[in-house]
Amino acid sequence: MRRILSSAIKILVSGALLYLALRKANFADLASRIDLFSGAWLFLALALTFLQIFVGVLRWRIVSAECGAPLPLRQAMRYNVIGTFFNQTLPSSIGGDAVRLWLVARSGAGWRAATYSIFVDRAVGLIALAIVIVASLPWSSRLIVDEYGRSALMLIDFAALAGGAGFLIVGVLPWPWLKKWWGTHHIHACAVIANRVIFSTRNEPAIAIFSLLVHFLTVSIAWCVVQSIAAPVGLAQTFLLIPPVMLITMLPISIAGWGVREATMALAFGYAGLVTNEGINVSLLYGAVTFVAGAIGGLVWIFSAEKAARDKNAGPEAIEAAE
């Protein structure tokens, strides 16, 4: 019952925010700007999306190995592509993580190692995103002309950065009860792994490169979308505005970020003195690109051996539990 209520709330949030954002959208204008030139840029955006998935796989394999759940490259790539499908279909922006968890656990790694690998990978990505936003604050603060917009940006980013720093600190605290109490045992274990992943001389360079590259590709995908409709948005503006939007979109309060992304993008563009409708247009096309990537992931899932095993064995209870 609780899962049904949670899903219903997320559907309502997505629907309400989409309604509020799309009231100002001009679909006729957007449609008139899409042509063969647009198609080439959108195809490039789709290609970059799969490159981003691959880079994420490279980081996830390092994390998984540290968690005791090593994954072959081909298998990890398949799991991540399948995850993109469930990110679009489950009532959460992190629904694909639950499916990846189930896939890794059923591959023989075990539930604990699988859970740790997903959680730590997500935490590392969040910390990297927060660092990127903090590093760009001197420029984004000048870009965002609205005082409330600047304050909201700094509040959200420093909250994410503080959360990430607090998580890492838990992993180095010497207090024995952190390892024994049921409420902190698993968090402490994940924090220890995260510190080992981020700060070890063996992993640090690769983790930093892959994490930053993932976010650079997010901006590149958005830039391709901007170019596809010739929106009056510069590359520097795209780089400064997209990461904070993605940070907010990660909140698990909607379906695949729909509604939250459109409303946040419109606000971000407005605060930066840009045309609000362009933010909505970019967000809708960005969502369309991720939807197509998810559809391809759905085909991979349909023809995968894991789905055949799921259908035979009555399905993954873990997905429902995670949601």
Q: Cα torsion for 41, 42, 47, 48, to the nearest 10°?
A: 80
Q: Please tell me the predicted confidence (pLDDT) of residue 266.
A: 84
Instruction: Give a yes or no: residue 29 inside a domain.
Output: no
Distances (CA, A) of 172 to 162, 194, 196: 16, 11, 10
Instruction: Give a yes or no: residue 154 inside a domain.
Output: yes
Angle between helices 235-249 and 260-271 (to 10 degrees): 140
Closest to 294 in 3D by CA, of 316, 27, 302: 302
Q: Cα torsion for 177, 180, 181, 184, to the nearest 10°?
A: 90
Q: Please tell me the predicted confidence (pLDDT) of residue 209.
A: 94
Q: Please tell me the predicted confidence (pLDDT) of residue 227.
A: 92
Q: Phi and psi at residue 274, in whole multiples of 5°?
A: -100, 175
Q: Phi and psi at residue 289, in whole multiples of 5°?
A: -65, -45
Instruction: Give a yes or no: residue 306 inside a domain.
Output: yes
Q: How far apart, in whole angstroms, are the C-alpha atoms of residue 170 and residue 123?
A: 13
Instruction: Give a yes or no: residue 246 inside a domain.
Output: yes
Closest to 161 in 3D by CA, of 128, 195, 122, 206: 128
Residue 193 makes CB contacts below 8 A (sequence gap 6+) with 63, 66, 67, 116, 120, 171
Instruction: Give a yes or no: residue 23 inside a domain.
Output: no
Block means of pLDDT (10 residues each) for the chain, 323 residues, are 58 64 68 81 96 96 92 93 84 72 87 92 92 89 81 84 91 87 88 91 89 95 92 88 86 69 83 82 90 92 78 51 41
The model carries a pTM of 0.85
Which residue shows structure tokens 């890492």? 168
Q: How far apart, in whole angstroms, are the C-alpha atoms of residue 190 and residue 194?
A: 6
Instruction: Give a yes or no: residue 58 inside a domain.
Output: yes
Q: How far apart, in whole angstroms, are the C-alpha atoms of residue 230 and residue 137?
A: 26
The total domain count for the chain is 1
Q: Encoding tokens for residue 107?
A: 């591959």
What's the pLDDT tens digit per position in 59-89? Answer: 999 999 999 889 999 999 999 999 999 887 6
Q: Phi and psi at residue 195, in whole multiples of 5°?
A: -60, -40
Which residue shows structure tokens 């391809």? 296
Q: Please tell me the predicted confidence (pLDDT) of residue 54.
A: 97
Instruction: Give a yes or no: residue 202 inside a domain.
Output: yes
Q: Please tell me the predicted confidence (pLDDT) of residue 4.
A: 55
Q: Encoding tokens for residue 161?
A: 């950065």
Q: Encoding tokens for residue 50?
A: 């799969």
Determine if residue 259 is left, alpha or beta; phi over 0 gives left, psi from -120 to 50 gives alpha, anything else beta. Answer: left
Instruction: Give a yes or no: residue 211 inside a domain.
Output: yes
Domain housing 206? 2-18+34-322
Q: Please tell me the predicted confidence (pLDDT) of residue 11.
A: 62
